[in-house]
């Protein structure tokens, strides 16, 4: 007698909450709509991840502090000032009202004219909203330097039984203590500090590693970034971008041998308003080639910044869901290593990509024995 074939359970939509409805959130929301209607269009790293596509992402909650966004539908808020990224997709009414979260350290003093906070607007109960929305993933898109605010939302995610993706450079999902907290709740976390698909960090890593692999010596390198969005304006205050410099610098040096002997300077360098969401990056490497003869490499990269990272987050959302489907918890190391600048463990990009590909190809399992350990 033939064995009956039992079809797998129907997969449900991936319920996502957002904090920080800026340019990156705008590109992500637009991207879900774009690839839902154009599923075969180029631009994604993976169009299908274990059966999940962009059409399976559903936004169910959103938080911000700017009064031009709070109280509006997410479909409108993503296009409201001070957002300035490219519009590449129409977004229908989503029936998701942007709620006001606590400001804490999310707005720098020099940003008061860019982020308009209405003190009369009441602060929402973040944990209760996450619970009521039945969100399963919270994505942190807070401004660089929002140390207290980022950790507030990480704690809120834990309290609401929601997994956490940290797209900004605060060391949460790469911290062993935080990872343990998510593990104990049976939740996933991924981070920290999202890479772009083809951005400054990934280009710098690949070129620097290539130079060493080909036998050259690197004596010095720098990476200077300029842009005109609120992210670059926010980082004009050096104190707020401390973690950003650390994250970007470690991301590059971690793939090199004997990096302690290399003179290095990496990070944002200036705010140029007319560039808006266009980010321009200058990368320089100097060193010695065969016979001790000097060489120098100069590279210029110009990209619209926010869509460049949204495609990466689109993958991470689905990979976190796949990990949940497989009964896993904590930080899935290859995912964080390939898609983020500051993972718990750095892995060279080609190796990390291969590990992610193998992970996607694995058969689903409810066993936690296969959960990667730190």
Summarised one tens digit per residue, pLDDT across range 275-285 is: 999 999 999 99
Distance between CA atoms of residues 64 and 58, nearest Å: 18
User: In angstroms, rounded to a whole number, what is the distance separating the alpha carbons of residues 249 and 277?
Assistant: 22
Handedness of CA 28, 34, 40, 41 (dihedral sign): negative
Q: Distance between CA atoms of 369 and 252, rounded to whole angstroms?
A: 32
DSSP for 30-50, please give it.
HHHHHHHH-TT-S--S-S-BT
CATH number for the domain formed by residue range(s) 200-304: 3.30.360.10
Q: What is the pLDDT of residue 113?
A: 84
164: phi then psi, degrees, rounded to nearest 5: -135, 125
Say whether 200-304 and 14-195+307-370 share the same fold: no
Which pLDDT belongs to residue 6?
45
If one counts every other C-beta atom within 10 angstroms of the C-beta of residue 64, the result is 28
Does residue 367 have a pLDDT over 80?
no
Biggest distance spanned by C-alpha atoms of the chain? 75
264 near 220, Cβ under 8 Å? yes
Mean pLDDT within 7-31: 88
Q: What is the pLDDT of residue 369?
A: 38
The candidate with the shortest Cα–Cα distance to 250, out of 258, 237, 241, 259, is: 259
> Distances from the Cα of 122 to the Cαs of 67, 100, 118, 222, in angstroms?
11, 7, 9, 45
Confidence class for position 371, pLDDT limits 50, 70, 90: very low
Q: Quick check: 24 pLDDT over 90?
A: yes
In the predicted structure, residue 368 carries a pLDDT above the cut 90:
no
Q: Which residues contact 195 (CB under 8 A, 6 or more apart)?
A: 201, 202, 251, 309, 312, 339, 340, 341
% of the chain beyond a pLDDT of 90: 84
CB atoms within 10 A of CB 278: 18
Cβ-in-10-Å burial (0-12, 13-18, 19+) of 335 comes to buried
> Model confidence at 260, in pLDDT bands (50, 70, 90)?
confident
Q: What is the 3-state secondary structure (H, E, C) of 197-235?
A: CCCHHHHHHHHHHHHHHCCCEEEEEEEEEEECCHHHHHC
> Mean pLDDT over residues 236-240, rounded?
86
Average pLDDT for 161-171 = 97
Mean pLDDT of 224-251: 90
Distance (Å, whole) CA 327 – CA 186: 8
**For 41, what's the count of Cα atoms within 13 Å in the CB-facing half-sphere?**
15
Using CA of residue 242, residue 244, residue 250, residue 252, what is the dihedral sign? negative
Strands 57-64 and 98-100: parallel
pLDDT at residue 363, rounded to an integer: 58
Whether 162 shows a pLDDT value over 80: the answer reads: yes
pTM over 0.85: yes
183-212: per-residue pLDDT in tens? 999 999 999 999 999 999 999 999 999 999
Q: Residue 82: is the preceding peptide bond cis (ω within 30°)?
A: yes
Give the per-residue pLDDT at 153: 98
Residue ranges per structural domain of the chain: 14-195+307-370, 200-304
Backbone angles phi, psi at 112, to 5 degrees: -60, -25
Say how far apart CA 20 and CA 270 lie, in whole Å.
22
Query: pLDDT (tens digit, 9 = 90+) per residue, 302-355?
Result: 999 999 999 999 999 999 999 999 999 999 999 999 999 999 999 999 999 999
What is the Cα–Cα distance from 337 to 83, expressed in whole angstroms? 29
For residue 262, give the nearest of 228, 289, 287, 299 by alpha carbon: 287
Q: Is the pLDDT of residue 9 over 90?
A: no
Topology at the third CATH level for domain 14-195+307-370: Rossmann fold (3.40.50)
For 190, the enclosing helix (H) or strand (E) is: strand 188-190
Query: Worst-scoring range by mean pLDDT, 49-63, 120-134, 144-158, 357-371?
Result: 357-371
């Amino acid at each position: 007698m033939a064995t009956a074939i039992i079809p797998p359970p129907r997969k449900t939509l991936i319920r996502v909450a957002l904090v920080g409805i800026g340019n990156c959130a705008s590109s992500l929301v637009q991207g879900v709509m774009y690839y839902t209607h154009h599923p075969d269009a180029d631009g994604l790293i993976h169009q299908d991840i274990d059966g999940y596509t962009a059409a399976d992402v559903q936004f169910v909650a959103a938080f911000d502090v700017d009064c031009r966004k709070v109280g509006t539908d997410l479909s409108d808020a993503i296009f409201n000032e001070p957002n300035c990224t490219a519009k590449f997709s129409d977004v229908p009414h989503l029936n998701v009202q942007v709620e006001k979260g606590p400001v804490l350290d999310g707005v720098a003093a020099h940003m008061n004219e860019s982020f308009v906070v209405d003190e009369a607007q009441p602060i929402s109960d973040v944990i209760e909203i996450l619970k009521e929305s039945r969100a399963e993933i919270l994505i942190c898109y807070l401004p660089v330097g929002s140390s207290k605010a980022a950790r507030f939302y990480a704690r809120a995610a834990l309290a609401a039984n929601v997994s956490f993706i940290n797209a900004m450079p605060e060391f949460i999902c790469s911290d062993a203590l935080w990872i343990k907290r998510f593990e104990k709740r049976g939740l996933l976390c991924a981070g920290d500090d999202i890479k772009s698909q083809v951005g400054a960090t990934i280009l710098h890593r690949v070129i620097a590693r290539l130079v060493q692999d080909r036998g050259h010596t690197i004596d010095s390198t720098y990476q200077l970034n300029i842009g005109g969005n609120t992210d670059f304006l926010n980082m004009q205050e050096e104190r707020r971008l401390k973690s950003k410099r650390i994250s970007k610098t470690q991301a590059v040096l971690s793939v090199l041998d004997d990096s302690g002997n290399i003179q290095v300077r990496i990070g944002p360098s200036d705010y140029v308003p007319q560039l808006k969401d266009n980010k321009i990056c200058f990368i320089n490497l100097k060193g010695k080639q065969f016979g001790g003869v000097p060489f120098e490499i100069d590279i210029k990269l110009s990209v619209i910044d926010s869509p460049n990272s949204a495609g990466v987050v689109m993958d991470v959302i689905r990979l976190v869901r796949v990990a949940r489907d497989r009964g896993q918890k904590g930080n899935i190391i290859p995912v964080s290593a390939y898609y983020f600048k500051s993972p718990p463990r750095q892995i060279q990009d080609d190796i990390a990509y291969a590990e992610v590909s193998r992970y996607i190809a694995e058969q689903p399992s409810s066993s936690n024995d296969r959960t990667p350990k730190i």
